[in-house]
Chain A
Amino acid sequence: MIWSREETLPRKELRELQLERLKAVVERVYERVPFYKKKFDQAGVKPGDIKDLRDIRNLPFTTKDDLRDNYPFGMFAVPMTEVVRVHASSGTTGKPTVVGYTRKDVETWADLMARALVGAGVHEGDIIHNAYGYGLFTGGLGFHYGAEKLGATVIPISGGNTQRQLMIMQDFGSTVLCCTPSYALNLADVIEQQGLDLKKFKLRVGIFGAEPWSERMRDEIQKRLNIKALDIYGLSEVIGPGVSCECIEAQSGLHVYEDHFLVEVIDPETGEALPPGEEGELVFTTLTKEVFPLIRYRTRDISRLIPDPCVCGRTFYRMARVTGRTDDMLIIRGVNVFPSQIEHVLLNIEGLEPHYQIIVDRRGALDELEVQVEVSEKVFSDEMKRLDELKRRIEHDLKDFLGVGAKVTLVEPRTIQRFEGKAKRVIDKRKF
C-alpha cells in the first residue's frame, strides 16, 4: 500500500523535483538564515551556483555544533509568530538541540508519517498503540499526527507503566505497536512472566525505532509478540521520525523519503561523497521544511544506500539499518545521551570531581545506565545519610537533565582510570 504518488515517481522525475526544491531551499536559507549566508560566503558559493544535483557537493556541511552555537532559535528561517511547534533533543552539552515547525511543516511531517504507517501495512481501521514518549521528543507526537492523518485510532499512551500498557492493549484491542525495539522486548518479557495469553492480543505489526537494533532482535520480537516488526528512522534535526521507513513487503532496508530529504553518504574522515552501496556517514538536506531547513546535515549515523529496485514498487532508494555512530553518543532506552552531558551534571554538584565512568549494559530487554563517581575527601561525609543523599541527588539531576534514569555508584578515589588525552569514559557491554 502506497500513500503518496511521489513514492513511485520514476527516478528522472524525482531528480527533477529534487533539483527544483534544492534550488529553492538553498535560496531560502541564504536569504533568511544569517548563519547560512555567512557559511556560503566563506565557502564562496551562491544559490545561483546550483545547476545540477551534484553541485550540492560544493555546499558546506552543517553539524550538531552549529546548531548548538545557534541555540535556541538562531537558525530558524521564519519569524517566531509562524512557528507553531518546537521540539528538542539531547545536545552535547548543557543545552538541547531545538527545532521548529510551521503549520505546513507539521502537515508535511504528518504526511510523511502516514506514508511510513501505510508502508507498514497500517490502515484506517487500525488501533495504534503509541508508546513513544510524548513531549519535547519527536517520537510521540510524530507518530500521533501521522496516525491521525491516516485516520486510524490513536491511543496516546506514551512510555512507562507496563502493566497499564498491557491492560489497555488487550482491552482496547491495539493492532499496531509503536515504541522502541527494546521496549517491545520488555513487553514480551512481562507478557511471558505473567503468563498472559498472546491470543488475547490483536497486535499485527510494530514500527520500531529511536535506537539501533539487529535482525536477531527483529526475529525475537516477531516470534515473541507474533507480529511483523519494521524499522523506522529519523532524527529531530531533519524532521523527527519519518525520514525513512521499511516497507512490509520487503522488510529489508528503509525507503528514504527522497522527495523531502536529499540523502548523501560521505566518508566521515574526508567528507567526500561516496557512491551508493558504500558505507559511510548519512548526510541529509531538507527540501521542504520552512522553519528549520538544513543543508548537508551530518547525522553521525553510519549506513549505506541500496539503490536496487524494491518489490514494493517504490522508487525511493533504501538505506541499510544504521550500524553505528561516528561520535560517542549513546542511545539508552531510545534516548540520546552524550557522555559530555553527564560530565556537565557532575561538575554542577559542589565538591564533586569529574572522575567518572559510564557503564551501559542490557541484562534483560532494557538498557541500564550506571555512572560510577569517585568519592573525594571533599564530598565524603561520615554520615551515611549524607552519602545516600549525595547519591540520590546525582541520580535525580541526571534523570532530570538526560531524560533517562541512571544508577549512581560511589567508588573510591583513583579507582577510575586516568587518561592521557581524550578519556575513554564509556564501557558499553551491550551486544545487539
Chain B
Amino acid sequence: MKVKQISVFMENKPGRLAEMASTLGEAGINIMALTLAESSDFGVVRMIVSDFEKACQVLREKNFTVTETEVLAIEIPDRPGSLGEVLKVFAQKGLNVEYMYAFVTRKEDALIVFRFDDPDKAVEVLKDTKVKILSNEEVLALVQ
C-alpha cells in the first residue's frame, strides 16, 4: 500500500528545475503529483510519477541526485471538511505527518500524498479505519 515517491536534490541555479521537468517529459514520464520544498541555497522536489524506475534512470543520467521515499497516497472526497476528517483520524491514532501535498484528480476525489515517520505503522494502523489508501496501481490508474 506504500507508493514510491522520487525526491530530487535541486541546487538553486536558474534552469535546473526546467531541465528536470524536460528530462522527464522527453522520457515520456507523466508527473502525477509534485511539491517543491525550499531552503536558502537548495530545494528538494518530491514527485509521484508514472514510471518510477525510468524516472530515476533518466534523471541520474543528467546528473541529478535522486532518492526514493515511501509515501501513502490517500483518497478523500473532494469537498470542504474532508481533509480535516482524515487528519483527525491520524491524530487519534498517533500518526505523525512529516509532510503532505494534495491534488484534485479526474475523478470526484482528491489525492493526498502523506509522508509518515513510519509508513508501515501507518498502513497497519489505518487498516481498520475508513481512510482509503490507494495502491501503486490505483494511483497510476488516475492518469489513464
Interface residues of A, Cβ cutoff 8 Å to B = 375-377, 380-384, 387-388, 409-415
Contact = CB atoms under 8 A, between A and B. Distances in A.
A413 B63 CA distance: 7
A327 to B, nearest CB: 31
Given A382-B7, A383-B98, A387-B39, A377 B46 contact: no
Nearest to A412: B11
Contact of A382 (B41, B64, B69): B69
Given A375-B9, A382-B5, 18 more contacts: A375-B42, A377-B65, A377-B67, A380-B65, A384-B37, A387-B9, A387-B39, A387-B42, A387-B44, A388-B39, A410-B11, A410-B42, A411-B42, A412-B9, A412-B63, A413-B65, A414-B63, A415-B11
Contact of A384 (B39, B63, B65, B69): B39
Nearest to B10: A412
Interface in B1-22: 5, 7, 9, 11, 16
B66 interface: yes
Interface of B: 5, 7, 9, 11, 16, 37, 39, 41-42, 44, 46, 63-67, 69, 98, 115
A383 B39 CA distance: 11
Contact of A380 (B9, B46, B63, B115): B9
23 contacts: A375-B9, A376-B65, A377-B67, A380-B65, A380-B66, A381-B67, A382-B115, A383-B98, A384-B39, A387-B9, A387-B39, A387-B42, A387-B44, A388-B39, A409-B41, A410-B11, A411-B42, A412-B9, A412-B11, A412-B16, A412-B65, A414-B63, A415-B11
A382 B46 contact: yes
Contact of B44 (A382, A409, A413): A382
A312 to B, nearest CB: 52
Nearest to A410: B42
A408 B92 CA distance: 41
Given A387-B42, A410-B42, A377 B63 contact: no
A328 B106 CA distance: 61
Nearest to A407: B41
B44 A375 contact: no
Contacts of B64: 412
Nearest to B71: A382
Contacts of A414: 63
A261 B39 CA distance: 53
Contacts of A413: 63, 65
A359 to B, nearest CB: 13
Contacts of A375: 9, 42, 65
A375 B42 CA distance: 11
Contacts of A376: 65
Contacts of B67: 377, 380-382
Nearest to B44: A384
B119 to A, nearest CB: 12
A381 B16 CA distance: 19
A190 to B, nearest CB: 25
Nearest to B64: A412
Contacts of A384: 37, 39, 44
A366 B39 CA distance: 25
B142 to A, nearest CB: 22
Nearest to B6: A382
A421 to B, nearest CB: 24
Contacts of B41: 409-410
A25 B41 CA distance: 55
A381 B115 CA distance: 13
A384 B37 CA distance: 7
B89 to A, nearest CB: 23
A387 B63 CA distance: 19
Contacts of A388: 39
A382 B67 CA distance: 7
A416 to B, nearest CB: 12
Contacts of A410: 9, 11, 41-42
Nearest to A377: B65
Contacts of A411: 11, 42
> What 4 A-B pairs come out closest when comparing CB atoms?
A382-B7, A382-B69, A412-B11, A380-B65
B90 to A, nearest CB: 18
Contacts of B16: 412
A412 B44 CA distance: 12
A381 B99 CA distance: 14
B8 to A, nearest CB: 9
A80 B11 CA distance: 53
A381 to B, nearest CB: 7
Contacts of A381: 67
| Residue with the highest number of chain A CB atoms closer than 10 Å, among B7, B11, B66 | B11
Nearest to A374: B65
Given A382-B44, A412-B9, A377 B66 contact: yes
Contacts of B11: 410-412, 415
Nearest to A388: B39
A381 B44 CA distance: 9
